[in-house]
Amino acid sequence: MAHCCINPSILSADFVNLEAELQRISTADAVHVDVMDNHFVPNLTIGLPVVQRIQEVSSLPLDAHLMIADPDRWAPAYAEAGIESVTFHVEAAKAPVRLARELRFHGAKAGMALKPATAVEPYLDLLPEMDLLLIMTVEPGFGGQAFLDVTLPKIRKAANAVAGSGLPVAIQVDGGVTEETIVRAAEAGATVFVAGSAVYGQTDPEQAIASLRAAAKVL
């Protein structure tokens, strides 16, 4: 399979010691940063000023996942700040194509996220506008949830559409990723894996990253 990426989620990290926590995942591909606004999802995490500070001290690129209302208004600022990848939820966006183009205009990779119950078929025509398609494998808002196998057919449909298009669109999964569930997600066609507690809940996060990477390649 193609190179798989492991993007640990700092939602499971120690927020008081984020710089040290970033150093514990230096072998990862990117840092997944969950931005929640207590409107789109029932949780509140961090905003742009903290994300910018994380970027300043991180040796890895940032993969920002905006679980926020009105991303059309707020998401472009993350791209303008130099965040490498900015993902918005299609359920919250009023004009997803325009927003994706604006993110790319400012130099960021544009990502589109879908909740577990959101069908992927209506959005496959938008793949040329995207660099990343995020299939949520839990309900967005909280870490530590169990992987929803009901999302596997959606991952497969998305991966098949990407393969058929020839476009370099990454299929990312987020939620409940473990050494066991990553195998099923990879078999379905996912290439980028967000892992929170499966990395930060372990004694040695970098060994956990290596184990996840190895498990994703066992196909």
Q: Is 176 annotated as a binding residue?
A: yes
Question: What's the chain's length in residues?
Answer: 219
Tokens 């839990």 belong to residue = 138
- Give 20's contacts (C-beta < 8 A, 6+ positions apart): 14
The H or E element containing residue 146 is: none
Please list, in sequence order, all residues whose beta carbon lies within 8 angstroms of the beta carbon of residue 37, skipping any fewer than 6 positions away.
44, 47, 67, 68, 69
Beta bridge partners of 113: 89, 134
Do the annotations mark residue 9 as ligand-binding? yes
Residue 193 annotated as part of some ligand binding site: no
Q: Is 196 annotated as a binding residue?
A: yes
DSSP E strand stretches across the chain: 5-8, 31-36, 62-67, 85-89, 109-114, 132-136, 170-174, 192-195
CA triple 33-111-115, angle to 5 deg: 80
Residue 26, marked binder: no
Structure tokens at 88: 């918005």
| 3 known member of a binding site | no
147 assigned to a ligand binding site: no
List of residues 6+ apart from 184 with CB closer than 8 A: 147, 149, 152
Q: Which of these is catalytic: 14, 29, 34, 149?
A: 34
Residue 47 marked in a binding site: no
Query: Is-catalytic flag, 174?
Result: yes
Check the annotation: does 142 bind a ligand.
Answer: yes
- 34 belongs to the catalytic site: yes
Residue among 29, 63, 131, 174 flagged as catalytic: 174
- Residue ranges for the known binding site for substrate are 9, 65, 141-144, 174-176, 196-197
Indicate which residues carry an active-site annotation. Answer: 34, 174
Q: Which residues line the annotated binding site for a divalent metal cation? A: 32, 34, 65, 174
